[in-house]
A and B are shown apart, each in its own frame.
Chain A
Amino acid sequence: MNSLGLPNLGFGVGLRATHFPYLMSHDDPLVDWFEIISENFLHNHGYARHVLATLAEKRPVVMHGVSLNLGSYDPLNRDYLAALKDLANWLQPAWISDHLCWTGIHGVNSHDLLPLPLNEETLQHVSNRIDQVQEALGRPLILENPSSYLTFSSSTIPEAEFLAALAGRTGCGLLLDVNNVYVSATNHGFDAQAYIQQLPADRIVQVHLAGHTDCGDCLVDTHDQPVPTPVWELYLLAQRRCGGAATLLEWDAAIPAYEELVAELNKARGVLAGAMPTAAVRQAEDALSTPIAFQVAVGR
């Protein structure tokens, strides 16, 4: 159990519109819990919200956001925060998460998870913003490590240390994406296992699993693949360290049929029981990071 008192929900998947037909025609959702992309539902009063209401009756749901723009030097978007709180009041999620990143500035929203310099100045800035978000939401924020492709000359604090400091200063929880750790570690040449060892284990509330693509000179976080073996190894390390955190499989492009997705998720149960899957990383000349087109699908 983490020090935030949040439960280990077991094994879950990201809810995607392409799986609505399966989920609405089968009584058993085959997984322990669901993670939604909050933005898909904030202003959606159509079928997607109906599906969500149906599933929330059966299983716990977590709200995972991509638009908090936490690291930005634009003011926090109060309309967005209010909409997030409204959805949380209606849905009663187990927790709410977003990323250590920024998404836009000066009114532009890139719809990407952009990196920020990691130094004492940005640590103070992000801490203050997390304080404001937690006050607005009336609950702790769960913060995810992003995957990144560049680092800044002005960065002075390693990412794991930065996250640990944020958790210490603000009381926020951590969503440890072991695929992102692997991608960033490979791209920037740091030790992925040491990164996980440096995080405060009692703050890890959730673990993300996903696949990526090897473009030769860098790894790209494509969320369109089975989880490769080195990411499973980090998953095992993370679960051993934190003594069991909620597991979530993300799959956002070339999304397989629901049963296939669940079969991939269930490998995580196997890993904890000692069965390490053998899966290579896909190689490609080029690849799109952080696919989001699935978010536009409305399900009917």
Chain B
Amino acid sequence: MKRDDPARIQAWLKTVLVSRGDLAGKLTTAASAHGLALAEVVAGGYGASAERRLDVYAAGYVLRLVACLQEQYPALTAFMGEAMFAVFAKAYVVTHPPDSWRLEHLGRRFPEFLRETRPRQADAAGETFYALPAEIARFEWAKSQALTAPGFEGAAVGVVPGLGPLGYLGEACSVELPDCLRLETLRYDVPTFLAAFGADPKTPLPAARQTHLAVSRVDYRLTVLEVADWAHAFLVACRGGGSVQEAVAASSQATGQKASAIQAYLMLWLPTAIQFGLLRLR
């Protein structure tokens, strides 16, 4: 391939952008990968140096993506502080260069990255301090998905006309979940903690408590509902598209509770689930 081949120049510039280190380190990596030196690629002789010109792109690439992650994870940014957030966000961008034109996909692996890179702490307080960011990130990612995936807007939502409470559980009735519904099981009650933290940044860290969340949308507004074990298992089973009875049976098997008990809970809970946009009945 000739030295001024445009595809080779693009590969060189891409390597400069995504490589670790300062500009000199990036240039060394790009030179060994593509056999090109800055002076032979970038024109000189006018105004700012070639290094400075390239650095507008190299530095801007990282800062621009970090700013996007801050926008995607505002509560986490507030919790960690902007400077600490930026440290992790930069490390994430360097580890996982964006592979999609969909900018909203940029932060897809950020919760997992935070979980994998957290320092291991022996005592419980330290454990919470380092584990919480990944859990907050999972919650915020679920929220951003729930806000943009297809929902029930524009369609008739609510109970099936003519069905009494017992009618919910009839064989013919099936449950439909919107694409925007996200089911998350977190190790902490993140929504409650974030609400308290927003009001008072000195709020003590929460104790571990497994929390099932259903995050969805009604009339373009986000909804967040904590759900019980049986309801979480019921919704997971509904994802498969079976009847109400089949989902009740699956929930019973998953939680060890009697199907008749779950049916009773369901009758009380369904109006709330419908109100929060978690499902509709057909």
Contacts and interface: CB of A to CB of B under 8 A. Distances in A.
Number of chain A interface residues as a range: 35 or more
B102 A152 contact: no
Contact of A112 (B40, B61, B148, B180): B61
A109 B99 contact: yes
Top-10 shortest CB links A-B: A73-B7, A154-B4, A67-B101, A150-B53, A47-B220, A149-B56, A293-B67, A217-B48, A296-B71, A45-B150
A111 B147 contact: no
A104 B9 CA distance: 12
A230 to B, nearest CB: 17
A280 B274 CA distance: 56
A149 B7 contact: no
Given A107-B99, A293-B67, A293-B70, 20 more contacts: A39-B101, A45-B148, A45-B150, A46-B148, A46-B151, A46-B180, A112-B17, A114-B10, A119-B6, A150-B56, A152-B42, A153-B4, A187-B53, A290-B60, A291-B64, A291-B67, A293-B64, A295-B68, A300-B221, A300-B222
B252 interface: no
Given A110-B61, A155-B43, A121 B101 contact: no
Interface of B: 4, 6-7, 9-11, 13-14, 17-18, 40-43, 46-48, 50, 52-54, 56-57, 60-61, 63-65, 67-68, 70-72, 97-104, 106, 144, 147-151, 153, 179-180, 217, 220-222
Contacts of B71: 293-294, 296-297
A34 interface: no
A43 interface: yes
Interface of B (DSSP majority class): helix
A117 B102 CA distance: 26
Nearest to B40: A153
Contacts of A44: 104, 148
A292 B68 contact: yes
A282 interface: no
B99 to A, nearest CB: 5
Interface string A120-159: 0110010000000000000000000000011111110000
Contacts of B220: 46-47, 50, 300
A42 B149 CA distance: 11
B62 to A, nearest CB: 10
A73 B7 CA distance: 6
A77 B70 CA distance: 28
B64 A43 contact: no
A102 interface: yes
B202 to A, nearest CB: 29
B101 A69 contact: yes
Contacts of A112: 17, 57, 60-61, 64
B101 A77 contact: yes
Contact of A149 (B46, B53, B61, B180): B53
A141 to B, nearest CB: 16
